[in-house]
Amino acid sequence: MTLERSRLNWNDASDVDPFFAMTGRLMSAWTIEEFLASGDAQVDDVLHKAAKHGLPETRESALDFGCGIGRIARGMRRHFRRYVGVDISEGMIKIARRIHADLSNCEFMVNTESHLRGFADNSFDLVYSWGVLQHVPSKAVVKSYVDDFLRIVKPRGLVVFQLHTDMTLRARLQPRRRLYNLFRSLGIAASTLVKLKLHPYDRYYVPEGEVNDWLLRAGSTILERERHDDHAPHKSMTFWVTKSARR
């Protein structure tokens, strides 16, 4: 799997059912207001905890890495003067721009690179990524993104990211995703494959110890490691991190 294959898969997901791709719940089960309200609630939870970790009350800008169609954009704009959503899928970004066309100081950008060099150092008060890094098909690329999170966040800002730290053997094999990619390469439509219960949603993991090592080598401070072990096939963790003063 490559980033390009991942881009194509998430474009497929945006065409077939972007709501399901982001939440695991079919688009037919949501209204757009319900969908966005779920993002509002998530933002409130994150910022409540972020305040406990010292996120300043003056909040200028937030980056949402892997924003999809902007489920949390509205909630973020209630707390930050500027919101930037980044996603690998042009299809997702196109929908996000349409949904949030009336939201001021809200940007949606496509990024298909293995880095975030388009953003300057010390640009954001909050860098947030949820349900995204486990879909990146390379540890080196995940590390590159995490390094850039720490580079672009402000010295008193906060980086919050979630990823898988372990997976069962069956989950690692991902037979449905492999079959999906095989049949897509043969020209079979994504909508047909989804009806056959095949899907493009790839999953990978980085052991907790490796992530800890990346963060410590970068000189960052790990404020909290929040475990999410409710789903047995995928062990996940959210890291709450500040950058070092020297960066």
* Cα–Cα distance measured from residue 64 to residue 70, given in angstroms and rounded to the nearest whole number: 9
In a domain, 164, yes or no: yes
Local structure of 29: helix, strand or coil = helix
Contact call for residues 155 and 243 (beta carbons, < 8 A): yes
* Cα–Cα distance measured from residue 40 to residue 44, given in angstroms and rounded to the nearest whole number: 6
Given a cut of 80, whether residue 1 has pLDDT beyond it is no
Local structure of 121: helix, strand or coil = coil
Question: With bands split at pLDDT 50, 70 and 90, how would you rate the model's confidence at 166?
Answer: very high
pLDDT by residue (tens digit) across 89-110?
999 999 999 999 999 999 999 9
Q: What share of the chain is helix, strand, coil (3-state, %, to 5)?
A: 45, 20, 35
Residue 216, phi then psi, degrees to nearest 5: -70, -40
* Cα–Cα distance measured from residue 203 to residue 167, given in angstroms and rounded to the nearest whole number: 9
In a domain, 247, yes or no: no
Q: What does the block give as tokens for 38?
A: 């779920």
Length of the chain: 247
Local structure of 53: helix, strand or coil = coil
In a domain, 42, yes or no: yes
Instruction: Write the CA distances from 195 to 109, 113, 155, 190, 192, integer angstroms.
Output: 30, 31, 48, 9, 5
In a domain, 114, yes or no: yes
Structural domain count of the chain: 1
* Cα–Cα distance measured from residue 140 to residue 59, given in angstroms and rounded to the nearest whole number: 31
Local structure of 127: helix, strand or coil = strand
Taking the model in full, what pTM does it have?
Answer: 0.92
In a domain, 93, yes or no: yes
Given a cut of 70, whether residue 219 has pLDDT beyond it is yes
List the CATH number of the domain containing 13. 3.40.50.150
Domain of 48?
Answer: 3-242
pLDDT by residue (tens digit) across 39-84?
999 999 999 999 988 887 778 999 999 999 999 999 999 999 999 9
pLDDT by residue (tens digit) across 172-209?
888 888 888 889 889 999 889 888 888 888 889 999 99
Alpha helices in 100-230 (DSSP H): 139-152, 169-173, 175-185, 190-195, 208-217
